[in-house]
Amino acid sequence: MSVDQKTVRHIARLARIAVRDDELEALAKELNGILDWVEQLGEVDTADVEPMTSAVAMAMKMRDDVVTETNLQKEVTRNAPGAEDGFFVVPKVVE
Amino acid sequence: MTDLTSLTLAEARDALKKKEITSVELTGAYLKEMEAAGALNAYVTVTAEKAMEMARASDAKLQKGEGGPLEGVPLGIKDLFCTKDVQTTACSHILEGFVPPYESTVTANLWRDGAVMLGKLNNDEFAMGSSNETSHYGAVVNPWRRQGSDAKLVPGGSSGGSSAAVAARLCAAATATDTGGSIRQPAAFTGTVGLKPTYGRCSRWGIVAFASSLDQAGPIARDVRDAAIMLRSMAGHDAKDTTSVDRLVPDYEAALAGGVKGLSVGIPKEYRVEGMPKEIDDLWTRGIEWLKAAGATVKEVSLPHTKYALPTYYIVAPAECSSNLARYDGVRYGLRVEGRDVTEMYENTRAAGFGAEVKRRILMGTYVLSAGYYDAYYLKAQKLRTLIARDFTEAFSEVDVLLTPTAPSAAFAIGEKTDDPLSMYLNDVFTVTVNLAGLPGISVPAGLSGEGLPLGLQLIGRTFDEETLLRAARAIEEAAEFTAAPGAWWRA
Amino acid sequence: MSEFESTMRQREPRAEDLIKGQTGDWEVILGLEVHAQITSKAKLFSGSSTTFGAEQNTQVSLVDAAMPGMLPVINRFCVEQAIRTGLGLKAKINLRSVFDRKNYFYPDLPQGYQISQFKHPIVGEGEVLLDMADGRVVTVGIERLHLEQDAGKSLHDQHPAMSFVDLNRSGVALMEIVSRPDMRSADEAKAYVNKLRTILRYLGTCDGNMEEGSLRADVNVSVRKVGSPLGTRCEIKNVNSIRFIGQAIDYEARRQIEILEDGGKIDQETRLFDPKTGETRSMRSKEEAHDYRYFPDPDLLPLEFTQELVDGIKASLPELPDNKKARLIAEYGLSPYDATVLIGEAARADYFEAVAKGRDAKLAANWVTGELFGALNREGHSIEETPVTAKQLGELIDLISDETISGRIAKQVFDSMYKTGRDPAKIVQEEGLQQVTDFGAIEAAIDAIIAANPDKVEQTKVKPQLAGWFVGQVMKSTSGKANPQVVNEILARKLGLSSDG
C-alpha cells in the first residue's frame, strides 16, 4: 500500500489539520516509510487470534445512576477561547 | 545541612520526620537549584509560591508529629498531569494557557500523602517522542555529557524533563508517564531509576491522554527505594478510571528486603538484536552474573513475536492518539486560530497548535483507522498484541522476572535523530513490548558507556507483581554500585 | 440481491400503499432509526444531571466537556434500561458488547468522537407489531439496539457570524433502535414510531417526549417500481414529530419518484426535513466526511453481564402492550379497535380496567374511549390529569345500569363531573336528575300533552310516526328525566298504537 499526495490531503482533511501543498510530498514520504515498515506484520498468521481488547483482564466497573456533579458552567467555560453568557462560541456552523 | 538536594527521597523523608530539616529549607534549596539550572530546560512551569506554601503546611504537620508518607518532600510533575489552577500544556502549543479546574488522581494522591509541588516538567509534546525534542518549550538537555565533550545530549523521552530533573537533583523525585518506554528509556539515559507499573496500577484520570490502552503513570527516582516509595503513593484504585484495578497497594519499600535468592530470571533471546553495541551486550551479561551471584537462577526464554512489537506499537499508539487528540479543536480550551468557518478554524488551529511529530502520528493514526484499512492495520495490530502478551504469559510460567537492556544505546546528541522518525522509534525496541502486554517494567542504572554515559538494565515482571520486580531491581542496584554523577556544568 | 435487501421481510405490495406516477405505480420502502433518550437521572458516562431545560452548560461535567485526561465511567442503570428495552422488543440480548468511538468533528461533539456501539451492540434482533387503523397487524423487524451518547446543541440564531454551543445534552444516554426496511407507507412508519413509543413508555425506559427531543427518528426512504430491486435511499435526519415523519416521507417519496421518472438518479445522501415548508433538503455539511474511523474505545472495557441479570430484569417487566391488548380482548370482549385505543398508554388501559371491573365491559369501554378520551382530548389533558376518577366514572355507569338516570342524562352528569370533579350521585341528587319511572307521574304528563294537542292526536292516528313528537314533548316537560321505555309504553296505549309497531 502506498500513500499518494491526494490521500495525504484526504487524511489531513479527516483529521482537520491544514496542510500546505508544499508539505504533501514530504508527509507522503514519511507516512510511506512508516507504512512500509509496519507491513512486516503481514508475515504473521493471525487468522485464529482474538484481538486484544484490554491490557488487563477484568470486568468493567460501573457507576450508579446518581447525579454527582453540580453546576460547573464557570469551570468548563473558563478556558474557552470564545465564550459568552455561559455558551461556547464558535464560527458559524452551516448545516 | 550543606547540601540538602543530595538527599535521596527516603533520606529526606526520614530527616523531615526526625525534624533534622524542614520542608521549607528543603524546598527552598530545590527552588534555588532549579533557578540555577535554566540551561537544562527541565521545568516548563515553576510553582515557587505554591511550593513554599505547601512546605509550610507540611512543616506544621511534621512539627506536630503528623503527616503522610511523603510529608514535605518536594517533587517535580510531568506537564502531562493536570494540576488544579496550574497551567498544564502537555508541552503543546495547542494547550497553551490551559489552566485545569481539576487535579489528576495521581498528583492528588501525592499531595494527600504530603508531597510538595515544585513545578511542571518538560516532556515531548503529548508524550510523543524519545528524546524530549518535540516539546513546544524546546528540548531538555541531559545533565550528562560525553567524556571530554560539551555536546548537548538528549535526556531521553518523553519524560525527559523528569529524568533530567531527577539526575540534576532539581527535585527529590518526579512523576512521569510511559506509553512505549517514556519512563524507562529517559531513566536509562540519565542514570536514574524509572518504574513503569502494570497497566491499571495507577489511575489515568487527569493525565493528558496519548494512547489510552498503553499509557501508564510511574515515577522516575534516584534509586530503587525512592521509586518504591513513590509508587506506593501514586498507585491505587480510582472509581473515575474503570481501567484502574481494584487491588490493595502493597508496601513496595518493605518488599525490597526480600532479596532474589531462588528467584528465576529469564533472558529473552530475541532481545539480542542485530547490531546491538557491544557495551550494551556486555552490560547485560554483567547483569546476569550479578543476579546469579545474588542467588537467582537464570535461564534463556523465548518471546518469539518480539520483532513485531515496534511496528504493532506504531499502529496502535497513533490510532488511539488520532482519536484522543481530536478534542483539541480550539473550542473549549487552548489555542484557537480563526478561519472563515468552523472547519477552517479547526484546521488552522490544529495546524498551528500541533508540532511535526504529533501531526505525523495523528495522520498515521487517521490513515490506519480510515475506511478499508481498519482490518489490515488496527485489527491486525491488536491481534499481534494478543500474541505478544501470550509470549510473556508463557515465559512467566517458567521464570519470575525478565532481564533485558533498557535501550539500544546511550544518550545521543540533540538533533542527531530528528530527521529520521524510524531511527528515533527504534529507541523503544526493548521497552515497547511491556506496554503492549500491560506489564510492569523498571530501568536501573547499571554502568557507564565507553564515553562515560549511563546505561540501564530493564527488568520486566508479571502483572501486578511490582514487588518481585523491585526486589530484583534492588539486587542489580546493589551489585552495580552505580555512584557516578554528572558534573554540575549547568549551574549558572 | 444485496445483503441489505436479503434482510427485508418479503411483503406483497398493497394497492392502497402504492404511489401513482407518470410511468406506473411505485412502492415506498421505509426503515427507521429511532434515537430514544434513556430515562435516567445521570448521563451515560458521567454524573451530570439529564434534567431537560436547564440553563446552558450547567449540566456539564469535566467528562462531558472533554477536558484533557477525563475518562468515561458507564452508568449501570442505563445498561439495565437498554436490556429492559431489548426484552420489550422481544430481542436477543448480547451478554457481551463493545463500545466504539465514532470519530468526527463538530462543535457540539467535544471529544471529537461519539461513544457508540458499532460492531457488537447490546441488543440484537427483535420485532415490533403495528396495529393499523384498518385492523391489520404489520410485523416490523428490529435489526439492533445500541447504546450511545447524545451530542450537545449548537444554536445558530443567536449571532450573525457565530454559533453558540450548549453541552447540557452532551453525553446523555441514547438507545438507537434500528428497524428493518419493513414499512411500506407513511402510515406504517407513523404507526411504528407510535408503537415503539408506547412500548418504551410501558417499560419506563424513555419518556417518549418528542417535543423535548427524547425521541427522534431518522427515516430511510427509497422507492422502486413494484417487483424491482431496491432503489437508492436517502436518510432524513432527526424528524421530531410523528406528523412530520408522515409529511417528510410523503414529500421525499414524491421527490424521488419525480427524479426517477425524469430519467435522473437518486444520490444517497442525508437530508433534513423543514416543517415550515414541508420539504426535505440536502445536508451538504454531512456529506464529505462519512469516514467515521470506528474502533473500540480503549478507555472502556467490553460491556459484559450475566444471563441472571437479564432474567432478573425480564421477571420485573410490566405487561407489554401486545399482551395487554390480547388480554383486554379475551377478558372483556373488546373489539381489537377499542383494545388498541386503550393500550396506547398503560394508564389509559389501567383506567379502563378500574372502570370495567364488575361492570358491563362494553359500556365501560364506550364511556372511557368515547366520553372520557373525547373530553381529555378536547381539554388537552393527559389521562393522569383527568378530573374524573375511574371510581367516579364507574359510579356513573352504575347509575345508568340501575336506571337511576338515562344515558342521555348521564352525558350531562359526566360534563358536570368533568368540570367540577364532583361525584355523580351527588350531582344527580342535587340537580334532581333521577330518572322518573313512576307510572303515575309520567301518565299525568302525557295526559296533559294529549289534552293540549287534540289535532296532533288525530294526525298520529293516520301517521303513527308522529308519536315521536309526543315523546319529545314528554321528555321536555320532565326535563329529560322520564324513563323513555315507560313513556313509549304509555303513549302507545293512549294513542291507540301497538307498542311494538
Contact B206, B82 (CB under 8 A): yes
pLDDT of residue C285: 55
Length of chain C: 501
* Whether B84 contacts chain A with CB within 8 A: no
As a whole number of angstroms, the distance between CA B122 and CA C283 comes to 45
pLDDT recorded at residue C445? 85
Which residues of chain B make contact with C69, given a CB cutoff of 8 A? Answer: 82, 104, 204-209
Last residue of a domain, one of C252, C282, C310: C310
Residues C372 and C287 in one domain: no
Any domain includes C236: yes
Is there a domain that residue C286 lies in? Answer: yes
- Per-residue pLDDT band for C501 (boundaries 50, 70, 90) equals very low
User: Is C70 found in the same domain as C219?
Assistant: yes
Which pLDDT score is estimated for C288?
56
Range of the domain at C63: 23-310
> What are B201's three cell numbers?
496500577
Rounded average pLDDT over A33-51: 95
Looking at the structure, tell me whether residues C285 and C412 fall in a common domain. no
Q: What is the pLDDT of residue C256?
A: 97
Under the banding of pLDDT at 50, 70 and 90, the label for residue B2 is low
The proportion of chain C whose per-residue pLDDT surpasses 90, expressed as a percent, equals: 76
Q: Which residue has the cell 359526566?
A: C414
Residue B444 β-bridge partners: B457
**Predicted confidence (pLDDT) per residue in C159-204, tens digit:** 889 999 999 999 999 999 999 999 999 999 999 999 999 999 999 9
Q: Are residues C53 and C164 in the same domain?
A: yes
C-alpha cell of B377?
Answer: 492495520
The whole-chain average pLDDT of chain B stands at 97
C142 shares its domain with C272: yes
Range with the lowest mean pLDDT among C34-48, C137-151, C274-288?
A: C274-288
pLDDT band at residue C127 using 50, 70 and 90 as cut-offs:
very high
The number of beta carbons lying within 10 Å of the beta carbon of residue B448 is: 18
Q: Is residue C17 part of a domain?
A: no
User: Do the domain assignments include residue C7?
Assistant: no
Give the pLDDT of residue A1: 54
pLDDT value at B406 more than 50: yes
For residues C389 and B422, the model is more confident at C389
The verdict on residue C349 lying in a domain is: yes
Q: Residues C304-339: pLDDT tens digits?
A: 999 999 999 999 999 999 999 999 999 999 999 999
Helices marked H in B354-465 — which ranges? 356-369, 380-395, 421-425, 432-437
8 Å CB contact of C62 and B101: yes
- Position A42 pLDDT exceeds 50: yes
Among B90, B100, B320, select the one facing C298 at the smallest CB separation: B320
Asked whether residue C497 carries a pLDDT value surpassing 90, the answer given is no
d(CA B78, CA B220): 10
Contacts of B98 (CB under 8 A, 6+ apart): A79, B87, B88, B89, B333, B334, C68
Integer Cα distance of A77 and C60 in angstroms: 10
Do C189 and C268 lie in one domain? The reply is: yes
Q: How many CA atoms lie within 13 A of B157 on its CB side?
A: 34
Q: Are residues C196 and C105 in the same domain?
A: yes
Report residue C4's pLDDT band, with 50, 70 and 90 as the boundaries: low
Q: Do C71 and B204 touch (CB under 8 A)?
A: yes
Task: Work out the burial of residue B351: count CB atoms within 10 Å of its CB; fewer than 13 is exposed, 13-18 middle, 19 or more buried.
Answer: middle
B195 close to B440: Cβ distance less than 8 angstroms: yes
DSSP 8-state assignment for residue C220: E
Q: Contact at 8 Å (CB) between B25 and B12? A: no
* CATH code, residues B4-258: 3.90.1300.10
**B119 grid coordinates:** 513545578
Q: Are residues C109 and C177 in the same domain?
A: yes
- How far apart are alpha carbons B180 and B385 in whole angstroms? 13
How confident is the model at residue B1, as a pLDDT? Answer: 44
Backbone phi, psi, residue B442, to 5°? -140, 140
Task: Please choose, from the candidates B258, B240, B78, B80, the residue with its C-alpha nearest in 3D space to the C-alpha of residue B163.
Answer: B78
Residues in chain C closer than 8 A to B343 (CB atoms): 105
The residues, any chain, with a CB within 8 Å of residue B78's CB and separated by 6 or more, are B120, B121, B123, B159, B161, B162, B174, B175, B176, B177
How many domains does chain C contain in total? Answer: 3
The three grid cell numbers given for residue C102, joined into one nine-digit string = 465514532
Bridge partners, residue B17, by sequence:
none
Give pLDDT, residue A65: 98
Cβ partners under 8 Å of residue A86, min gap 6? A73, A77, C55, C56, C57, C58
Q: Tell which A residues from 6 to 45 touch B, by Cβ distance under 8 Å.
A: 7-8, 11-19, 27, 30-31, 33-35, 37-38, 40-42, 44
Within this chain, do residues C254 and C274 fall inside the same structural domain, yes or no? yes
Whether the predicted pLDDT of B178 surpasses 90? yes
B458 bridge partner residues: B404, B443
- Tens of pLDDT, residue by residue over C348-378, are 999 999 999 999 999 999 999 999 999 999 9
Closest partner CB to C69 (pick from B101, B208, B366): B208
> In Å, how far is A92's CA from the nearest CA of chain C?
4
In whole angstroms, give the CA distance from residue C41 to residue C99.
21
Q: Which residues of A79-88 are buried (b: 16+ CB within 10 A; e: fewer)?
A: bbbbbeebbb
Are C124 and C171 part of one and the same domain?
yes
pLDDT of residue C284: 65
Q: B368-388 burial string, b = 16+ CB within 10 Å, else e? A: bbbeebbebbbbbbbbbbbbb
CA–chain centroid gap for B432, Å, is: 13
Q: How confident is the model at residue C469 (pLDDT cuts 50, 70, 90)?
A: confident
> Closest by alpha carbon to B273, among B433, B453, B474?
B433
Query: Mind telling me the catalytic residues of B?
Result: 78, 158, 182
Q: Tell me: pLDDT of C1 over 70.
A: no
C193 and C291 housed in the same domain: yes
Return d(Cα B476, Cα C2) in angstroms, integer.
65
Per-residue pLDDT at C190: 97
The chain-wide mean pLDDT, for chain C, equals 92
Residue C18 lies in a domain: no
B60: which 3 cell numbers?
A: 506544621
The pLDDT of residue C450 is: 87
Q: Using pLDDT thresholds of 50, 70 and 90, give the confidence band for residue B453.
A: very high
Q: Which of C310, C342, C373 is the last residue of a domain?
A: C310
Task: Tell me the per-residue pLDDT of C390-446, one tens digit each, with 9 for 90 and over.
Answer: 999 999 999 999 888 888 889 999 999 999 999 999 998 888 778 777 778 888 888
Domain membership of residue C9 (yes or no) is no
B375 touching chain A per CB within 8 A: no
Same domain flag for C329 and C392: yes
Q: Establish, for the pair of chains B and C, how many residue pairs have beta carbons separated by less than 8 Å.
A: 96
Q: Residue C289 pLDDT more than 60? A: no
CATH number for the domain including C470?
A: 1.10.10
